Amino acid sequence: MLRIFRWLVRIITGLIVLGILGVVLLYWFFSRSIPAYDETLTVAGLDQPVEIVRDNAGVPHIFGATDRDVYFGLGLAHAQDRLWQMLLLRRTAQGRLSELFGARTVRTDELLRRFDLYALSVRSAEAQDDYTREALQAYSEGVNAWLNEVIEGARGRGAPEFWVFEPSIAPWQPADSIVIGKLMAVQLSSHLETEVLRARASLMLPDARVVDLLPDIPGDGIAALPEYAGLFDAPLPRYAAHHETARDPLSPFKSRPFAGASNAWAAAPSRSAAGGTLLANDPHLEFTAPSIWYLARLELQSGGVIGGTIPGAPAVLVGRSDRLGWALTSAYADDQDVFIEKLNPENSEQALTPEGWKPLVSRTSIINVNDADPVTITLRNSENGPILPGSHYNLAAITPPGHVAALAWTALSPADTSISAVLGIMRSGDIDAALSAADAYVAPAQNLTLAAREGIAMKVIGALPRRAARHQTMGRMPSPGWMAENRWQGRLNPSANPAFMDPDGGILGNTNNKTVDRPFPFHVSFDWGDTQRVQRWQRLMQSREVHTRESFIEAQLDTVSITARTLLPLVARDLWFTGEAAAEGTPERRRRQALDLLANWNGEMNEHLPEP
């Protein structure tokens, strides 16, 4: 018996030792993928030495003799810290998620292949200005320098995730940085879904009911829209057919309520306690781990800039220099239109145009799927844009027989110079220079809020489609793609985009609310992201004669819901002052106490309060 006990002790001890060794070995393997910030690297591609100084929060401050070297350093820092995130963003935009995640992402890959974002980004790389092309190339070389360091320096696999997934990594290219901007447009655009929703509602309900359910933002009215079914000579279902598809967390396509939002506001010197300008920005993008944002400081030849970058792109999207601050909020511009294309009954590869039948542009694409057979799809484009299957966005419910749906979208530009615009804003010394640089911005449309030493400004930046005044649906519902009056006629001149300069009240801001009330086709949008937050923001801004940094922070952290305060009397109007007096401890008494709490509630959405 003693002998058995001794052997059991030996076996258990051996297993414990092996377990400890296994944990140590795993830790060593995984830790090799975590960069050391206190070392000196010798890499090819630099003009002069670059210094990357990390502060206590891990934010890199990058110093170099030339801008090219600084962008090289940013690429290396991004790759050190966010390599898996960068490569996942690239793979998403390319429509290649299924190579890692299998059949669950085939639907996402298929739709992204139809948009062809990556090929458009390759073409857009040639459209950038010389400075941006050099910055993109230097940034790519910085990313690739770290990839080479991982391989040659035996630094694990570059990121811990690559111990789980296939570690083969293609070199980073300038187009990879451009396509991340287009992927952001995917996440922030919702007008396609809104058009389909309005058309489906029109098929089922009378016009008055549609207006009631999908009201316009308060302001001057617009002309009545035609009944959707009346736009086509083919039969349409008289019901709102709906096929809900579960949204994969890996999909960049967000539902309408979660397409994106942000707040930004600025105060002129006349409304600032210190006599300077103030600027606040809090972009509302979805929660991810890691965050989509990456703080960095770049010491450029034009001066230092610091702010939020997105891993994969050499640009400070929101930030400041010592002369200028810039902030972004979603403009909700109507930059998407769905066109219903009529197919030739004798040749389904032809679509009707104002000039007659013309062939669709078709090609095949193969989606490789992990642990499954490849999927071959046919990509088709009309003159208006890519053809989308009826299985996406419930398009089948609003597409007549013998027709298909195509999408026109500013983000599908093959000459997208948005990143050139952002790099120009970063290097601007004043508001006029920043606004001039912003003219090159394409998509996604944003409100650019600026604060310089002496003034403030806000302008809608991004391509706004030029529509004909006779457009049948004014872009609010899908329209016949063969009608000349419905087709886009290019883009509006950037000078036509709404702009606000040094207002008399000294305060500018946006909460994704309606910014301008102009008649179609210069309207910007009929659908906006907010009607409530702006009311609270106005009250906070006007409650003080002058503002400070602290008052701006207080406004950013404010949790009072105007929506809750507005709806509360409507919800509870039939509950207050009803019922008999009740004894303590009874359900009726607790009901009265709950109503008393609501009656005195200010609408603060605090997690520690019972009222929310």
Secondary structure (DSSP) of 381-403? EETTEEEE-TTSTTGGGG--TTE
Domain limits, the chain: 562-599
Strand-pair category, 60-63 with 294-300: parallel
Collapse the DSSP code of 358 into the 3-class scheme (helix H, G, I; strand E, B; otherwise coil) and give the result: strand
pLDDT tens digits for range 142-188: 999 999 988 886 666 677 777 777 777 899 999 999 999 999 999 99
Q: Name 411's Cβ contacts closer than 8 Å, sequence gap at least 6.
A: 117, 182, 185, 186, 189, 335, 442, 443, 444
Mean pLDDT of the chain: 89
> Percentage helix, strand, coil, to 5, in the chain?
40, 20, 40
Higher pLDDT, 262 or 281: 281
Of the candidates 550, 548, 540, the one whose C-alpha atom is nearest the C-alpha of residue 509 is 540
d(CA 378, CA 127): 28
pLDDT (average), residues 245-251: 70
Residue 478 is classified by DSSP as -
> Is the model's pLDDT at 202 over the cut of 50?
yes
* Residue 220 pLDDT: 40
d(CA 40, CA 177): 26
Q: Which uninterrupted H or E stretch holds 533?
A: helix 533-542
Of the candidates 370, 369, 345, 365, the one whose C-alpha atom is nearest the C-alpha of residue 357 is 345
pLDDT tens digits for range 523-562: 999 988 888 888 899 999 999 999 999 999 999 999 999 8
> Is the model's pLDDT at 222 over the cut of 50?
no
Q: Indicate the pTM of the whole model.
A: 0.90
pLDDT tens digits for range 431-470: 999 999 999 999 999 999 999 999 999 999 999 999 999 9
Quick one: CA torsion of 550, 555, 560, 564, rounded to 10 degrees? Answer: 180
pLDDT (average), residues 481-487: 97
Strand-pair category, 456-461 with 446-452: antiparallel
d(CA 418, CA 314): 12
What is the band of 38 on the pLDDT scale with cuts at 50, 70, 90? confident
* Residue 584 pLDDT: 74
Helical ranges in 95-239 per DSSP H: 98-101, 106-115, 117-125, 130-152, 174-188, 191-204, 207-213
Which residues, listed in sequence order, are joined to residue 387 by a DSSP beta bridge? 406
Higher pLDDT, 157 or 313: 313
> Is the model's pLDDT at 411 over the cut of 50?
yes
* Residue 575 pLDDT: 65
Distance from CA of residue 137 to its chain's centroid?
24
